[in-house]
Amino acid sequence: MKINVNGESQSVSAVTLADALIELGFGDAKVATAVNEDFVPAGLRAAHILNEGDRLEVLAPMQGG
């Protein structure tokens, strides 16, 4: 299925958010996720089913002021 990952269209075969993160190369990286503009805590990723067209944001620590 096609989902939007950080603003770019990507194809994933994973069904859950947890599996999609692995498939997209994030593995055990320190990231936070939101789907369709709502925060999905790490503990809920395995149970979160992705749907066609979902907008996934994967954020990580970055420089800030």
- Continuous segment of H or E residues that includes residue 33: strand 32-35
The residue from 9, 11, 13, 63 that contacts other proteins (CB under 8 A) is 63
d(Cα 59, Cα 38) in Å, to the nearest integer? 13
Taking contact as CB under 8 A, which single stretch among the options 11-19, 26-34, 46-54 is the one that binds other proteins?
A: 26-34
| Closest separation in Å from C-beta 18 to other proteins | 14
Taking contact as CB under 8 A, which single stretch among the options 11-19, 29-37, 46-54 is the one that binds other proteins?
A: 29-37
| Closest separation in Å from C-beta 59 to other proteins | 4
The answer to whether 37 contacts other proteins (rule: CB under 8 A) is: yes
d(Cα 42, Cα 25) in Å, to the nearest integer? 16
Evaluated on CA atoms 17, 23, 27, 32, the torsion sign reads negative
